[in-house]
Amino acid sequence: MTIEQTRIYPINTGWLKTDHGTYMFFKGDAGRKVDLPVLCYYVDTGEHKIMVDTGLPDAERATKYHHSCDKKGELESPDALRKMGVDPDEIDICIFTHLHWDHVHNMKAFKNARYICTPTELTMAVNPLPLYYRSYEASILGIEAPFLGCQFELVEGVTEIVPGVSVFPTPGHSVGHQAVQVETTAGSIVLAGDAIFVGRNMEPREEEHWRYWVPQRFINTLEGWKSVEEIDRRADYILGAHDPAVLEHPVYPFEGMKLRKKREVIPGLPFYTGGL
């Protein structure tokens, strides 16, 4: 059975210095810098070898066009995979949560993979709103985005990619963001991409009566909030793309993994929607 064999391996492709208030938490402490990992995931179902996002470029490019980046010995995704004993040629599917620069580098190294994203995200990525030239590494900046020349398979809405692995829409951080839901012996593990940055985003900010303390980094806060509610409704466990706590375990699920309560009602901290 696939579900018994399914394992999720986080790969840290490096660290970025980001602002607590501008990125991590809505109205958080502006000016406080925090080191966040840039994670992608290798999902092995026994039948399929899947990458969810493909991570950062080298530190020099990341620092020049984006944020101060420190690899601290971390490898880019193809080399990290080789170190785990998996040849990048064996990857048959790359699912992209979205096409921001820190989620797509080295994707061409997975040359036997189907590349999957949403049509809305691809449209924005190839012709970004000027405010997001850097996010998508637009050619007007004199660089070439990693996804240029790649043929994508476009999926919309809740879609099963292979048995036990599906995607569902989570727009808000970007226009066509999607999360990946992986069924495991421990329940549904949601790879949330940048719909949340760290686990704390799913917890309340009580003094404001916010049921969630969502990230600041949304192109659309209403859609972003709905997406967080949808993740809350689906996930027994959440793995974000920038959460240092993920690195405490090399593989998921693990023995004794504590599952979360889905859509837990907390008096005084109302939900706003039923999800998406």
> Which residues of this protein are in contact with Zn ion, per CB under 5 A?
100, 194
- Min dist CB 128 to Zn ion, Å, is 12
- Min dist CB 240 to Zn ion, Å, is 11
Distance from C-alpha of 94 to C-alpha of 97, rounded to nearest angstrom: 10
Identity of the residue, 42 or 101, whose beta carbon is nearer to Zn ion in the bound complex = 101
Q: Write out the two tokens for 191.
A: 């790879």
Please report the DSSP string for 32-72 in residue order.
Answer: -EEEEEEEEEEEE-SS-EEEE------HHHHHHHSS-EE-T
- Min dist CB 135 to Zn ion, Å, is 7
Please report the DSSP string for 89-142 in residue order.
Answer: GG--EEE-S---GGGTTTGGG-TTPEEEE-HHHHHHHHS--GGGTTTTT-GGGT
- Min dist CB 217 to Zn ion, Å, is 7
Please report the DSSP string for 83-94 in residue order.
Answer: HTT--GGG--EE
Name the 3-class secondary structure at 152.
strand
Identity of the residue, 194 or 229, whose beta carbon is nearer to Zn ion in the bound complex = 194
Distance from C-alpha of 201 to C-alpha of 222, rounded to nearest angstrom: 15
Identity of the residue, 194 or 223, whose beta carbon is nearer to Zn ion in the bound complex = 194
- Min dist CB 69 to Zn ion, Å, is 15
Q: Write out the two tokens for 27.
A: 């109205």
Q: How many residues does the chain have?
A: 276
Identity of the residue, 113 or 175, whose beta carbon is nearer to Zn ion in the bound complex = 175
Comparing every residue's Cβ against Zn ion, the nearest one is 100
Identity of the residue, 137 or 194, whose beta carbon is nearer to Zn ion in the bound complex = 194
Identity of the residue, 49 or 100, whose beta carbon is nearer to Zn ion in the bound complex = 100
CA 140 to the chain's CA centroid = 26
- Min dist CB 155 to Zn ion, Å, is 18
